Amino acid sequence: MTRVERDITRFVDRIRSFFGRATDKRNPQLRAMGAKAIEIIVRRSRLGYGVKKVESLRYRFPPLSDRYIAFRKDHRGELHRFGRPAKSNITATGQLLESMQYRIEKRRRTQVIVGPSGRRRASSFDDGSLSNEEVAENLAKGGRIYNNLSRPEIAQLRNFYRRQFGDLVKRKLS
């Protein structure tokens, strides 16, 4: 084997090793991407916007009913710090958005999956019998779909990943 062939073989082995680590569940770049996706969803939701389908445009959440606004005013002390009595931004108690977590699954390809998790604490707004996933389903039925990413948000996440991953490639392969 010539020196050039050895160098090429060594380089190819480094690429294989690198990409094996790049799709590993413990990869810090994938973890950072999951955390960034949560940050994007939470920020948009707190501003009162949702995304009905993946890659669609964002939309403003439907307004709250007058009766529910009055109820929230009566329980103002229990509202989350980002909650306002008349603002439709799924933050009555803040539990749903604070429960957002990501998990990394590797089947045919590696995926970062983001969603609510865990049980709810009882409050004036909720008896605590539902899980956060069930509350998210109920919100979706009422027209408040928040756990998708819009096309611009996907581009933002892709750019974040390219900065993270691109720097890693340059460092590891050079």
Encoding tokens for residue 143? 């027209």
Domain ranges of the chain: 3-173
Q: What is the pLDDT of residues 34-72, one digit of tens each?
A: 899 999 999 999 999 999 988 889 999 999 999 999 998
CA of 83: how far to CAs of 47, 71, 117, in Å?
10, 13, 20
- Distance in angstroms (rounded) separating the CA atoms of residues 160 and 129: 37
- Residue 34: φ, ψ to 5°: -60, -45
Q: Which residues contact 18 (CB under 8 A, 6 or more apart)?
A: 169, 172, 173
Percent of the chain scored above 70 by pLDDT?
80
CB 131 within 8 A of CB 19: no
Which residue type, as a one-letter code, is found at position 132? N
